Amino acid sequence: MSGITTNQTDQRLRSQSNEMHIERPFWLIGNPDNRRTKGLQQARLQCGMSPAEVIPYPDLLKTWRQGGSLADVVNPSLQRKATAEVAPLIRIDAPGEQWDVERELLSLGAKDGDPNTESLSRESFTAEEALELRQDWGRIYAPAQWFNGWKGCLKRIGREAGELWPSARFLNDPEDIATMFDKRKCQQHLSAHGVDVPPVLQSPERILSYSELRAAMQTSGMYRVFVKLACGSAASGVVAYQINPRTGAEIAVTTVGMTVVKGRPVFYNEGRMQRYTRREEIETLLDWLCAEGAQVERWMAKASYGSRVFDIRQLVAGGHAGHAIVRLSKTPITNLHLRNERMLPEEAGVDGYRQGLVQTAAQTAMGAFPNSWSAGIDVMLSGGDNPRAYVLDVNPFGDLLYHVQHNGLGTYEWEMDILRKEPYKHA
């Protein structure tokens, strides 16, 4: 399960480049020093491809704030080539792991008197206040406002790129990325396209509080649910919540930590699991989560290996199912950064039939986004002799997987090798 580092592999990939078509310019909107950017650039080098031209998020967001446009942060020589020669293929990468970018997105998502901006957040900042925030490591700042900014960022990238370079293509369409990021819309979209997803807790109105959540659970008889921050990633804002219908006792297991600052609750994304049993704490947590925007779905029993449950991150690119990693946990939340264990499917006893179910579910989910090329699809298998595969999440940036290979290649090398052999074309 080691990464691609040998000279032999490098030589094989470079020799294959002699067969390639005229290389299309590849632009990357991302954070220049980020591990994703570095991994992608290394992969392109190993595949004998020219480096991606990086458009930095900090430069782009600052330029917008100062009245400029995407054209102002793209090298003029690249713009001329994009117009006169071959149109670029643009990859939008994750904006995270850089505080300046987080502040800019919070600023971009500020309501500042706009009644049409969707936000029921219990915490908000003006555009100016957001830019002055000091980083408090792990704190979850106004997620609904951040998501407003992220959606605005994606919409503007799509609009300006279309106006400036009409023949340019996105690896993943900006509108698709916004939908994938919104767990509510994504699960609805997948279900409408015939993809099996966990059942959603039904309620005639949007659930905005702990009391409304409890009432909906009681009415539906659904006493075990996952409450997920609609725009969360890396298990941020995920709560496994259950009620004993006989006694009313309740338990919430989550990555969210809480404290009080100046009389107000503040929430953190912890690196370890938290367990809450006191009603006051659970009410505070779920009031916040529901107000920020939450997806509430049935907590379904996952397949298990030994004493641990698991799900599978399945990478799909260009219609191909590639790298797969099993994420095992003794808790309901399986994300690997929580010190959960990883295995290859065969190591965890996932036979060929079950792997086929996972791959088919992931490819079908990706097929629901015909204008997008790759994603990491989180899939769970039900237990028993007749398992079913359910898609839990579609991560447009889900190709950062360590220590796993497919056809002898790491994730970025595999994706770039596909692009080299199969030029990306969509309407």
DSSP 169-192: EESB-HHHHHHHH-HHHHHHHHHH
Structure tokens belonging to residue 246: 């006989």
| DSSP letters spanning 191-248 | HHTT---PPBPP-SS---SHHHHHHHHHHHT--EEEEEETT--TTTTEEEEEE-TTT-
Q: Do 230 and 370 fall within a single domain?
A: no
Q: What is the mean pLDDT of residues 217-241?
A: 88
Residue among 387, 195, 244 at smallest CA distance from 310: 387
Domain extent, residue 379, equals 302-395
Identity of the residue numbered 241: Y
Residue 238 lies in a domain: yes
Q: Do 148 and 74 fall within a single domain?
A: yes
Whole-number Å distance between alpha carbons of 378 and 393 = 5
Structure tokens belonging to residue 8: 């032999």
Q: What is the mean pLDDT of residues 81-86?
A: 66
pLDDT at 213 over 70: yes
Q: Do 248 and 309 fall within a single domain?
A: no
Residue 135 lies in a domain: yes
Q: Do 115 and 161 fall within a single domain?
A: yes
The CATH number linked to 346 is 3.30.470.20
Residue 400 lies in a domain: no
- pLDDT, tens digit (0-9, with 9 covering 90-100), for 185-208: 999 999 999 999 999 998 888 999
Q: Do 27 and 156 fall within a single domain?
A: yes
Q: Do 83 and 156 fall within a single domain?
A: yes
- Domain-ending residue, one of 298, 328, 345: 298
Structure tokens belonging to residue 279: 């009603």
- Domain-ending residue, one of 235, 264, 298: 298
**In a 3-state reduction of DSSP, which class is residue 143?**
helix
Whole-number Å distance between alpha carbons of 120 and 229 = 13
Q: What is the mean pLDDT of residues 371-391?
A: 94
354, 153 contact by CB (below 8 A): no
Residue 104 lies in a domain: yes
Whole-number Å distance between alpha carbons of 184 and 371 = 20
List phi, psi (to 5°) of 225: -135, 160
**In a 3-state reduction of DSSP, which class is residue 57?**
helix
406, 318 contact by CB (below 8 A): no
Whole-number Å distance between alpha carbons of 218 and 244 = 11
pLDDT at 24 over 90: no
Q: Do 289 and 317 fall within a single domain?
A: no
Q: Do 151 and 57 fall within a single domain?
A: yes
What does pLDDT average to over the chain?
88
pLDDT at 144 over 60: yes
329, 309 contact by CB (below 8 A): yes
Whole-prediction pTM? 0.90
Q: Do 291 and 308 fall within a single domain?
A: no
Q: Do 288 and 317 fall within a single domain?
A: no
- pLDDT, tens digit (0-9, with 9 covering 90-100), for 290-348: 999 999 999 999 998 888 889 999 999 999 999 999 998 887 776 666 667 788 999 99
- Alpha-carbon separation of residue 168 from 81, 90, 94, 188, 374 (angstroms): 11, 7, 20, 29, 17
173, 152 contact by CB (below 8 A): no
How would you class 203 by CB atoms within 10 Å of its CB: exposed for 0-12, middle for 13-18, buried for 19 or more?
middle
| DSSP letters spanning 361-397 | HHHHHHHT-TTB-EEEEEEEE--SSS--EEEEEEETT
335, 254 contact by CB (below 8 A): no
- Alpha-carbon separation of residue 69 from 51, 61, 62, 159, 417 (angstroms): 24, 9, 10, 11, 32
Whole-number Å distance between alpha carbons of 272 and 419 = 38
**In a 3-state reduction of DSSP, which class is residue 341?**
strand
Domains in the chain, number? 3
Q: What is the mean pLDDT of residues 363-368?
A: 97
More confident position, 173 or 83: 173
Whole-number Å distance between alpha carbons of 206 and 225 = 16
Residue 389 lies in a domain: yes
pLDDT at 97 over 80: yes
254, 285 contact by CB (below 8 A): yes
User: What is the model's pLDDT at position 85?
Assistant: 62
Q: Do 156 and 240 fall within a single domain?
A: no
Q: Do 250 and 352 fall within a single domain?
A: no
Instruction: List 297's β-bridge partners, or say none.
Output: 200, 226
Residue 204 lies in a domain: no
